[in-house]
Amino acid sequence: MAKKKKTITKTERKPRFQKIKSFFGNRQTQTILGSFAVLFAVFLIISFFSYFFNWQEDQSQLANFSDKNTSVKNLLGKIGATISHFFIYDGFGISSIYIPFLLFFSGIAIFLKGSLKSVRKYWGWGILAMIWLSVAIGFVSSNNQLLPGIIGYELNSYLQQFLGKTGLLLVLLFLLISYLVIRFKLTPEKIKSIFPVKKAVKTSNETTTSEEVKKSIEPIKSTETKEIFTADFDIPIENKKPSSKNLESTERGEIVKIDVEKIVEESHVEENMSSKLVKDFGEFDPTLELGNYTFPTLNLLKDYDESISIDQEELESHKNRIVETLNNYNIGIARIKATVGPTVTLYEIVPDAGIRISKIKNLEDDIALSLSAMGIRIIAPIPGKGTIGIEVPNKKATMVSMKSVISSAKFQNSEMELPVAMGKTISNETFVFDLAKMPHLLMAGATGQGKSVGLNAVLTSLLYKKHPAEVKFVLVDPKKVELTLFNHIERHYLAKLPDTEDAIITDTTKVINTLNSLCIEMDARYDLLKTAMVRNIKEYNTKFKARKLNPENGHKFLPYIVLVIDEFADLIMTAGKEVETPIARLAQLARAIGIHLIVATQRPSVNVITGIIKANFPARAAFRVTSKIDSRTILDGAGADQLIGKGDMLFTNGNDVIRLQCAFVDTPEVEKITDYIGSQRAYPSAYLLPEYTGEEVGTSLDIDISERDVLFRDAALVIVHAQQGSASLLQRKLKLGYNRAGRLIDQLEAAGIVGQFEGSKARQVLVPDELALNQLLDGEKE
Ligand SMILES: Nc1ncnc2c1ncn2[C@@H]1O[C@H](COP(=O)(O)OP(=O)(O)OP(=O)(O)O)[C@@H](O)[C@H]1O
């Protein structure tokens, strides 16, 4: 029962207590109280001082406090005189001065929302000091009652009766020492440190022992236990358990704070360093090594008459024929619109309601017949437009010059990583794509339809937009004539295998080595991306430019690498899987690390463009091909067989097929550009790809005689007669595949008939004639 009562009273009390708490916690209350305390303290100080001068006269008047006719001399009137009398005369004497000061600081603390805990602490220590002081003053001036106040005076005489004068003095001294030690943590060592004594010569036995150290920190420990009572200004240090380092530093009685946490800041050093480096030197500029490099100028490119003449007669007759043909099949036309492009005109037809689109599509050949023109393409419907398009070649095609596409604002202002101005669309707009986004391009077209010009257009675009530090080309040209002009810019823009002479690769063995080397480069780049914790080359280079990647850890600015293969069919025929495998690997993985492939072929048959290659080349450019089947292989649909040649092309990136007129750049123009670049200061060498040694090399000499190819003797004869140790010679003469010819060369080397592999050069033939060969081979049998 009683328990219940207790809980009820407790819960009743709680809200009342909380009300009081919230009243004093209110900032308005605090401001009023704080300012009152400060002003009251000022009041007390003035009245106390005034009291010391007038107390004798005023004292007699205090009895007549309420009498109007009596006045006091205290500056703060009767109230000032009364209060001063109460505190000084009837209280603690001159040590009462503590009270207004304590009040003043308390007022400030409340006013500024300081901690009331510290206020309480001041009062505790202040009152103790005040009592001690009044007793001490009473002890010194026992005849004066004002200075110690009644309390000091009476306490003094009371204590003297018990302790005697000397005893009281000793007690007072002890209390003073205790006060100073506890309040201000005074120790002999601290006093010593404040007033440094001349250092005596230290002998070895004077070194501080751990015992002494312990002793020296003892006061600290004791204060720790009394924390609530004695908490002081040094709270943070006191609360900390002295660490072993702190123990050492307390030798002289003071605690030196060791900021161990600063070590954590080291993780930011690289970051700070990089921003400092960027601040000091600016962002890393990869182009700095060839800082004076100037891009080729537009006047190196030829001007052509590119004005598209609109032949009204031609338009009318085409329109009439289209309408007629369709009418013959009962297809009515609601509207027809023509867009004249450089090579073809697009007639956009809106058929009458209810006409099936497939019906018009099926009439493709009939319309072509009635227009008596080749290259008719029907787009039914035009994606995103809802109309049917009929592309009819113009009688007079207009050339699209490289100059016109390069100088277009669209290309010049493009912010793409690898911008390529391929040509112009049917509506005469410059078509620019980002090779980095494609990310690889497959180009096909029958011979003489504009592939090589297309490749040159791609390369020219990149030369006009990218600095030598930003892009490198690996050029594979089995035809040996198409890309030779780019030799001029070897040390600016080309990449090659170390220890090879020509950067432009014409030899199948070298192609295999280069492709495998690119795979090594790809793997190395992936490792760099991994350590840099970025997802692609763009992020990597941005981070490198911001100086956040340390070159000492193997990081370097990574240029884009564009691998161009002109005539892929030839490579596949001679090297098969050895070429296909690294190409497929590169095509699958290289997009993120900036290796992009452009593969061109005359024969887009399925055994050249295999499924695995096709799957990894979403971007396709088709020039005119000879059959619908070839068109299907390259574009996954018909259309390329309907093109008119001379750079007329279809381009797709997996979705829509766009008809373009490829920009024309001829050999003299390319020569001018490469000469312009080549005449400028270059890097010491071409960009070196990682070394790759073919698997056959090194094992060749172990080949057993019994394992020789049946054609070994024939091959030896061919080589000795021609005095030229090349695998391609064997391929041609003996009609062999690349692999078999390669193996034969290895066996010939093992037999000592040809010399070692010497890069791009043919191997040396070590046997001068047939006679010597027969002797050598017969000798082996014995
Ligand atoms: N974009 C174009 N504009 C105008 N004419 C072009 C264009 N492209 C090619 N031609 C013409 O077609 C000719 C053959 O072009 P190109 O050498 O590029 O053919 P190709 O497909 O590479 O042939 P091959 O496979 O035999 O090397 C050029 O010499 C040129 O006269």
Question: Is a pLDDT exceeding 60 seen at residue 272?
Answer: no
How distant, in Å, are the alpha carbons of 4, 6, 34, 209 from that of 18?
22, 18, 21, 55
The pLDDT score that the predictor gives to residue 222 is 37
Nearest CA among 83, 99, 56, 87 for reference residue 152: 87
pTM more than 0.90:
no
DSSP 698-742: TTGGG--GGG--TTHHHHHHHHHHHT-B-HHHHHHHHT--HHHHH
CATH 1.10.10.10 fits domain 700-781: yes
Q: Which of 55-59, 411-415, 461-465, 649-653 shows the lowest per-residue confidence on average (mean pLDDT)?
A: 55-59
Q: Is 448 in the pocket of ligand 1 (CB under 6 A)?
A: yes
Question: 439: cis peptide before it, omega within 30°?
Answer: yes
Give the H or E element holding residue 599. strand 595-601
For 312-393, which CATH class?
alpha beta
Query: How is residue 291 written in tokens?
Result: 């800082």
Q: Residue 654 CB: number of other CB atoms within 10 A?
A: 10
* 8 Å CB contact between 713 and 773: no
Task: Tell how many helices (H) and how many strands (E) occur in the chain.
Answer: 30, 15
Helices 98-111, 116-140: inter-axial angle, 10-degree rounding:
170
Spatial separation of the C-alpha atoms in residues 576 and 526, rounded to whole Å: 27
Question: Is a pLDDT exceeding 90 seen at residue 11?
Answer: no
Q: Is 450 in the pocket of ligand 1 (CB under 6 A)?
A: yes
* pLDDT: which is higher, 568 or 72: 568
Nearest CA among 620, 591, 296, 581 for reference residue 466: 296
Closest ligand 1 atom to Cα of 400: 3
**Span 628-632, average pLDDT:** 88
Q: 646, 648, 666: which to mutate for ligand 1, most atoms within 8 A of CB?
A: 646
81 pLDDT tier (thresholds 50, 70, 90)? confident
Residue 433, class by beta-carbon neighbours within 10 Å (0-12 exposed, 13-18 middle, 19+ buried)?
buried
DSSP 460-498: HHHHHH--TTTEEEEEE-TTSSSSGGGGGGHHHHBEE-T
* pLDDT: which is higher, 2 or 616: 616
Q: Is 698 in the pocket of ligand 1 (CB under 6 A)?
A: no
Q: In the chain, which segments carry CATH 1.10.10.10?
A: 700-781
* pLDDT: which is higher, 576 or 714: 714
The pLDDT score that the predictor gives to residue 234 is 37
Ligand 1 centroid to residue 265 C-alpha, Å = 63
Closest ligand 1 atom to Cα of 661: 1
Question: Is a pLDDT exceeding 50 seen at residue 220?
Answer: no
- Strand pairing report for 419-425 and 430-434: antiparallel
Q: Is 504 in the pocket of ligand 1 (CB under 6 A)?
A: no
Residues facing 648 on adjacent strands: 661
454 pLDDT tier (thresholds 50, 70, 90)? very high
Query: How is residue 571 written in tokens?
Result: 């490579």
ipTM over the 0.85 cut-off: yes
Q: In the chain, which segments carry CATH 3.40.50.300?
A: 422-522+557-688
In sequence order, what are the residues at sequence separation of 6 or more whose Cβ sits closer than 8 angstroms to the Cβ of residue 176? 132, 136
Ligand 1 centroid to residue 444 C-alpha, Å = 12
The pLDDT score that the predictor gives to residue 661 is 92
According to CATH, the topology of domain 422-522+557-688 is: Rossmann fold (3.40.50)
**Span 52-81, average pLDDT:** 77
* 556-565 per-position pLDDT tens digit: 999 999 999 9
Q: 453, 598, 649: which to mutate for ligand 1, most atoms within 8 A of CB?
A: 453
Ligand 1 centroid to residue 666 C-alpha, Å = 9
The pLDDT score that the predictor gives to residue 223 is 37
Annotated binding site for ATP: 445-452
The pLDDT score that the predictor gives to residue 550 is 83
Q: What is the CA radius of gyration of the chain?
A: 50
**Span 160-168, average pLDDT:** 86
Closest ligand 1 atom to Cα of 449: 21
Nearest CA among 313, 339, 649, 289 for reference residue 492: 289
The pLDDT score that the predictor gives to residue 259 is 55
Name the residue at shortest CA distance from atom 15 of ligand 1. 450
**Span 702-726, average pLDDT:** 82
In sequence order, what are the residues at sequence separation of 6 or more whose Cβ sits closer than 8 angstroms to the Cβ of residue 23? 29
522 pLDDT tier (thresholds 50, 70, 90)? very high
Ligand 1 centroid to residue 447 C-alpha, Å = 8
Q: Is 646 in the pocket of ligand 1 (CB under 6 A)?
A: yes
Q: Is 449 in the pocket of ligand 1 (CB under 6 A)?
A: yes
Closest ligand 1 atom to Cα of 482: 27
279 pLDDT tier (thresholds 50, 70, 90)? low
Name the residue at shortest CA distance from atom 2 of ligand 1. 647
Spatial separation of the C-alpha atoms in residues 646 and 669, rounded to whole Å: 18
* 139-151 per-position pLDDT tens digit: 887 777 778 888 8
Question: Is a pLDDT exceeding 60 seen at residue 540?
Answer: yes
Mean pLDDT of the chain: 79
Ligand 1 centroid to residue 33 C-alpha, Å = 97
Ligand 1 centroid to residue 452 C-alpha, Å = 6
Spatial separation of the C-alpha atoms in residues 446 and 457, rounded to whole Å: 18
Question: Is a pLDDT exceeding 80 seen at residue 219?
Answer: no
Instruction: Kindly state the percentage of the chain with pLDDT values over 90.
Output: 17
Instruction: Kindly state the percentage of the chain with pLDDT values over 70.
Output: 82
Name the residue at shortest CA distance from atom 23 of ligand 1. 448
C-alpha count within 13 angstroms, C-beta hemisphere, residue 617: 26
